[in-house]
Structure 1
């Protein structure tokens, strides 16, 4: 058992096989379509994205000052770069699958332009918040973290300026995640 659960790739593969078996067993009552697969993947990537956002904001950042200096390289050299890799790609795939859901559902343009009224406007507000959050991840947080973690060349001044910029963007994403999730679950669009 330890060998099985010690291998994340194998665990993910088995999880995928079990999910496909579940889909096959319930095809009659839960038809498989591009939309349903996109919803499933949207949920997976969204949980990964927001889970890592909350990890950074509730665990890593508040506790870095409590870690002894000799232990910080384990976080900044190994854990943070790996977490940021999954964080930024989860953001990208969450947005991509969300856009696929809206497109296959026929409400992408109405939602993004706020022309559909009611729930279309609500999901549109959630979509715009998610797009802003993904922008923050890729164009503010990630470039700043590359400097902070020494993944790119940066002067001491550039590193110092990058910290507050990354923190503000990350905290803005935490703030936006709360109404964004409410909009996503409350719109109830098929």
Structure 2
């Protein structure tokens, strides 16, 4: 009976996981269908930082016949994925929450909300701060005899890579809080490893951004600032010794 009950519980968890995954995918699909009509407008909005720095008579081009259709289509699909991020996290939370204590829920809810805000903050920082700087730099260093005509597909790959890099990088404070709260590491241990973190930030930025020093620096510096912010916030989430552990220490 015990094994049957365990098997039944395992199957019910799998069914619930499947249902929540289906809801998450459905949310992406619904948002995509509501945005696909505006696919060209969305691409124009994302391309605006580049357009602002192009020479007066220059424009973007499509080197592939299907690119004018698939580039905005692909961007809209990723936009739907980014916009559905809160609902996806809500489904993840709904799956793991029943196995948590009430105190754990109270501590993790602010982290969940912070992760959503930081993710969107990273994308916004990339679009409004990083893009104008790096695009202005790259479009202004070429020789005058060269006419800059960026390909729409190449620009889309460049944009999505940076959006993803900055969205994930801005989750550093959340990762630090979770590591300290779970007892995997401590604030003091992370402070001791600060020199390695500095080197690691630039190495990670090198892999996540295009192969240029400017993009890597613009990602690495916020990562280091977010690391320091994570250390401050982790002081409120550090794992406290249990009463039994305290008695044993005494």
Q: Which of the five TM-score ranges fits, normalised by the shorter chain? A: 0.3 to 0.5
Q: Which has the larger radius of gyration?
A: 2
Could you state the TM-score of these two structures normalised by the residue count of structure 2? 0.28
Could you state the TM-score of these two structures normalised by the residue count of structure 1? 0.35
